[in-house]
Amino acid sequence: MTSTTLVRTFLDHVFAARLDDALALVAPDARFIGTRPTPSPHNPLYGTFTGPQGARQFFAAFAQVLAPGVFTIEAAFGEGPHAALHGTLRHTSRQTGKPFASDWALVCEVRGGRIALYHFFEDTEALREAITP
C-alpha cells in the first residue's frame, strides 16, 4: 500500500467512526499536529499528540469542538514515505453553532506501514471566529 493510500484509508476510517481501525494504522511514536505544534488554552486541537493514544486525544478534541460536516479530498499525492492531501471542509462549532469552512492540507509520513507524522493545516482565523462566542 502506498503512503497516500494508507493515509486515505486512515481518513476513511476516521470519518466512518471506525477510530480503532484508524488507530491501528498509527505508529507508536507518531506525531499528530493540529495546525500548530504548541498547545493553546483557547483551542484543544492545537499541540502535538503522540502515538495512537495521542491520536485518540486529538480526534476526541475535534469531536468536542466541532460537529463534523463535509470533508472533501480534492487531491492526494506522494513519493516514498511522504503523502500530501488537500481539499475543503465545512464543520460546525459545537459551542457557538457557527460554521467553520476552510481549505485544508495534510502532510504525512509513513514508516513501516503506519502513520508516523500527521500535520494538518487549516484556516486558523476562520476556526477562531467559528469557536469564539
Per-residue pLDDT of the chain (133 residues; tens, 9 = 90+): 999 999 999 999 999 999 999 999 999 999 999 999 999 998 999 999 999 999 999 999 999 999 999 999 999 999 999 999 999 999 999 999 999 999 999 999 999 999 999 999 999 999 999 999 9
Its sign, for the CA torsion 58, 61, 63, 66, is negative
Q: How many structural domains is the chain composed of?
A: 1
Alpha-carbon distances of 118 from 72, 84, 97, 131, 132, rounded to whole Å = 17, 10, 27, 23, 26
Task: Count how many residues are written for the chain.
Answer: 133
Domain with residue 72: its CATH number is 3.10.450.50
Give the residue numbers spanning the domain of 88. 3-131
